[in-house]
């Protein structure tokens, strides 16, 4: 939608909750997919969107765990989804299409962080495979349903995008030494660049896309691969994570707010292809900026986004239907 990457002064902020963002918005008749929508900020997202009237489909690797977590929420269906495995992504999309003709909102929420070096069955590095490649494939497989609804696609990136751009010569760390935070940063940059180019591709069909940083949240399963020492120092704002900047620690309700804002806010009608944080479009900042709500140029570059798109199509073996 060729939206300028600058704040619109939405009236919300870092302490806004998801419930506050969605006040007055009616989602009856809308169908929403939330990957990983059974834990952490994904669960809060599911709760809030369901309360607004939407029917929610949660993609979860552990279906039993997901159904237990979602048992008290109305209008929720769980479908098995392991984003790191292409066969599972295709299976999810096939099952979804049997039951639904459209998808009004796709929230690419699930992710992993700072894992040891792991690879999927295709040999892809696990953070890149789960956080980016799987979501790219899922979005491609559901493209007809997204176009039918003139949907919004929301991609959860992170302030961690500042740890790394895309390693185009070796995205899966096949020849370079593996470093978990570099790999995480690459995957989060990829999430943002995916939204940039997806928005461009989807414009003629009324599909818009947004990337976002949910904020610093310490009470979710995302940090399960971090050592006890890393968790302790992160909690005290003295983290060993490279380039760390102390920032406000959000509750889960606050952490889900920007996701819900990007997915539903009328303030974003006719906008897209931007990176957001604290329920607003983020400012562009210098590469070494301490500003926690800002985005680096490498994560929103249209040329880098197009280059990543081509690389991803090649890796995943998906020729995008436009």
Q: Which residues are catalytic?
A: 184
What gap in Å lies between CA 140 and CA 182, rounded to an integer? 26
Q: 65-104: string of b/e by CB count within 10 Å (b at 16+)?
A: ebeebbeebebbbbbebbbbbbebbebbbeebeeebeebb
Rg (CA), the chain: 18
Q: Furthest-apart CA pair in the chain: how many Å? A: 52
Q: Which of 146, 157, 150 is nearest to 185 (CA)?
A: 157
Q: Where are the beta strands (DSSP E) in 2-67?
A: 31-35, 55-60
Listing from the earlier edge strand, what are the strands of the sheet with 152-156? 76-80, 55-60, 31-35, 105-108, 152-156, 208-213, 274-277, 280-281
Question: CA 269 to CA 266: how far, in whole Å?
Answer: 5
State how far the Cα of 217 lies from the Cα of 284, in Å rounded to an integer.
22
């Amino acid at each position: 939608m060729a939206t300028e990457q600058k704040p619109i002064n939405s009236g919300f902020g870092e302490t806004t909750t998801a419930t506050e963002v969605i006040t007055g918005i009616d989602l009856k008749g809308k169908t929403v997919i939330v990957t990983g929508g059974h834990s952490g900020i994904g669960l809060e997202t599911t709760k809030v969107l369901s309360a607004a009237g939407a029917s929610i489909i949660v993609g979860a690797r552990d279906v039993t765990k997901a159904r237990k977590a979602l048992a008290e929420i109305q209008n929720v269906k769980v479908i098995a989804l392991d984003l790191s495995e292409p066969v599972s992504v295709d299976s999810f999309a096939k099952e979804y299409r049997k039951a639904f003709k459209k998808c009004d909102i796709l929230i690419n929420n699930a992710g992993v962080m700072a894992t040891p070096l792991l690879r999927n069955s295709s040999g892809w590095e696990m953070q890149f495979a789960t956080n980016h490649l799987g979501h790219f494939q899922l979005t491609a497989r559901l493209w007809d349903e997204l176009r039918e609804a003139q949907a919004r696609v929301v991609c959860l990136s992170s302030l961690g995008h500042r740890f790394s751009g895309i390693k185009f010569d070796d995205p899966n760390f096949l020849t370079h030494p593996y470093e978990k935070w570099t790999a995480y940063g690459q995957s989060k940059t990829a999430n943002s660049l995916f939204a940039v180019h997806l928005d461009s591709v989807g414009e003629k069909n009324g599909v818009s896309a947004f990337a976002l940083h949910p904020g610093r949240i310490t009470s979710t399963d995302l940090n399960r691969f971090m050592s006890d020492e890393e968790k302790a120092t992160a909690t005290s704002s003295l983290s060993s994570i490279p380039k760390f900047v102390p920032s406000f620690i959000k509750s889960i309700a606050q952490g889900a707010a920007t996701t819900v804002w990007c997915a539903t806010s009328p303030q974003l009608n006719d906008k897209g292809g931007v990176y957001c944080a604290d329920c607003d479009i983020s400012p562009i900042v210098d590469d070494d900026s301490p500003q926690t709500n800002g985005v680096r140029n490498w994560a929103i570059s249209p040329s880098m986004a197009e280059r990543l798109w081509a690389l991803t199509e090649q890796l995943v073996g998906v020729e995008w239907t436009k």
